[in-house]
A and B are shown apart, each in its own frame.
Chain A
């Protein structure tokens, strides 16, 4: 092996790991709303009494009453909203991103849950985009 390919390899690895640091990990829905309850629970009970989680009511109420809401809550609300969207996008993206690997390694497998289980067991998926998609979707 010559020297330039070694360096090339090192650069590829370094940029991959940088990309890994730069990309925020997605969070489960449960963890996202747990953060919301922890940092905004008191504010919700104070300024959004009687309102429910559905249809953006809590989000809208906290935003409309930002002056009365703690800065921690406002910042958490933004993170939680972004996190839920990321997780949703990752879960939707899984089928497209993993379609090739699923066809290649899990051809005869029927059922979405079984295909996921097969991909999780397939060592060959380990370093690819599909592997990352499974992690981002929270299905590991």
Chain B
């Protein structure tokens, strides 16, 4: 189905919106084309195992864990979704980003694919609390997608990883580390 999107040396993990303002510049076409670069060799990921690994490694990082280290091989992008402080409420200024994800996930190119939302925090605050909050925030995003935006629930899963996989390991407290990964887990079985 996606032969025309398949290229040698796929740019997996394309960073589209790590900066502050750039989340607004995401557009529907970028989302669809980035997320539909499916590799035949893509690993099968079980979100429950990711949760297990994250819970067992609080404060120690998960980059070397068997399941977390596989994620980089899947089609994905990073988005910035802001929440109220210490809360699961998505800030109104980030509604658009969630809406853009919904538009992409409803498109025929992606409509039969499953997606994983991974929530990350910076290392400010308690690691255990960060893990819990990031899981709740990832859940809040999939809940909004599944209800307000009518994406079938069986296409969505969510995992929080707290501060355990910083995008900038040299500066774990940096705001860049707060981010949401949207990962294509492959066609619905």
Contacts and interface: CB of A to CB of B under 8 A. Distances in A.
B1 A111 contact: yes
A34 B109 CA distance: 24
Contact of A30 (B93, B102, B111, B146): B102
Given A113-B1, A113-B2, A113-B108, A30 B99 contact: yes
A29 B28 CA distance: 11
A135 interface: no
A113 B105 CA distance: 12
A49 B89 CA distance: 8
> For A29, A50, A112, A139, which residue has the most chain B Cβ atoms within 10 angstroms?
A29
Given A112-B109, A113-B108, A37 B103 contact: no
A112 B112 CA distance: 9
Contact of A50 (B2, B84, B100): B84
A138 B87 CA distance: 33
A32 B92 CA distance: 12
> For B2, B87, B88, B89, which residue has the most chain A Cβ atoms within 10 angstroms?
B89
A29 B103 contact: yes
Interface string B84-123: 1001111011011011101100111111100000000000
B157 interface: no
A132 B1 CA distance: 25
Given A30-B103, A31-B99, A114-B1, A54 B147 contact: yes
A35 B135 CA distance: 28
Nearest to B143: A54
Interface of B: 1-2, 28, 36, 84, 87-90, 92-93, 95-96, 98-100, 102-103, 106-112, 140, 143-150
Given A49-B89, A54-B145, A115-B108, 10 more contacts: A29-B149, A37-B92, A41-B93, A45-B92, A53-B95, A54-B140, A54-B146, A54-B148, A116-B109, A139-B108
